[in-house]
Amino acid sequence: NPSVVNIEIVSGYHSTIDIVDSSGSGFVYDADGHIVTNAHVVRDAEEILVTFSDGHVLNAELVAVDDYSDLAVIRVDPAQAPLVPVLLGDSNQLQVGQRVIAIGNPFGLDGSMTVGIVSALGRSLPSARLLDPAYDQYSNPSIIQVDAAVNPGNSGGPLLDSYGQVIGINTAIRTENGGFQGIAFAVPVNTMKRIVPQLIEQGSVQYSWLGITSPAAEGGYSVAALADELNLPVRNGILVSEVTPGSPAARAGLRAGTQTTTIRGVPIPLDSDIIVAINGQMIRDIDSLVAYLVENTSPGDTITLTIVRDAQTLDLDVTLGIRP
């Protein structure tokens, strides 16, 4: 709890007084005064006020924001702040059914703790800027779904394991009435471990880019759903429906389908490459591929894609680019 802070945002000035427009949570990342929270908590802030668990209040500066991961870093003066950095865990070790704890400031009630379990792993969420079409093509992968109560004001707070280690950052809920209905989502800490150092050191994040598109898995268009219908040689993987010209995938020789069939109104490639593994790790769908790229690679890295082409298995080396 001493590591968790309340964050209040002034996004504009109203007559002669400042009005707090929104609030959220965050946690102390290091002894240099860096605090991690959600991008949607601090975006467009004119002033950021941080309240520590002992009631200490400080102004913070915005260091950087990354809308793709919905993560942001703010900073307070370390000489004035009672800093207790969190301990970071390993989100790759999580299992469904594992106990998790959320600490945050729902509805401004600071230091609130809720308990639940991991409900599912490997979810994906749209980027933080849902209405900006420039961000629509990329999703936030490897999201943790939990049933610990998360409400407005919890955003940006830590999701912890039973040892008190941060394994996620509480980010969103799925709701039909605006309140918690048993489904909450957290960005995994292993994503944060790659994103936050870049935000602190560079002020922005570079993501690895492959340059392919695939039919959406939703609605029954995954390889697993289409395997029998199309007599595919594998039951998991990614159908490559388009390869972006000039992309790393194009330079490596990855092929999109030239023949299609229409299934329930959606054109599906018949003769495309099917990606089944990356660096020897089997992948189920496009979300698991994006998750691997985000958590394990950087632009300039060379990866090995295992593909199935004309019922033959091939390995292609691909040097990743920077996501446009």
Euclidean distance between CA atoms 70 and 169, whole angstroms? 10
Cβ 118 vs Cβ 177: under 8 Å: no
- Residue of 197, 170, 190 lying closest to 90 (CA atoms): 190
- Which sign does the torsion angle of CA 4, 200, 171, 51 carry? positive
Residue tagged active-site, from 67, 70, 147, 287: 70
Residue 40 falls in the annotated catalytic set: yes
Euclidean distance between CA atoms 101 and 115, whole angstroms? 5
Helices H, strands E: what count in the chain?
A: 5, 26
Residue tagged active-site, from 40, 112, 124, 272: 40
Task: Provide the b/e sequence for 301-314 (b: ≥16 CB within 10 Å).
Answer: eebebbbbbeeeee
- Residue of 127, 137, 126, 140 lying closest to 168 (CA atoms): 140
Euclidean distance between CA atoms 6 and 57, whole angstroms? 9
Cα dist. 139→69, 98, 154 in Å? 8, 25, 22
Residue tagged active-site, from 155, 222, 272, 288: 155
Calculate the CA 29 to chain-centre distance. 18
Residue 70 falls in the annotated catalytic set: yes
Cβ 104 vs Cβ 132: under 8 Å: no
Q: Find tokens 């985000």 and name the residue.
A: 294
Q: Find tokens 């790790």 and name the residue.
A: 281
- Would you name the residues annotated as active-site residues? 40, 70, 155
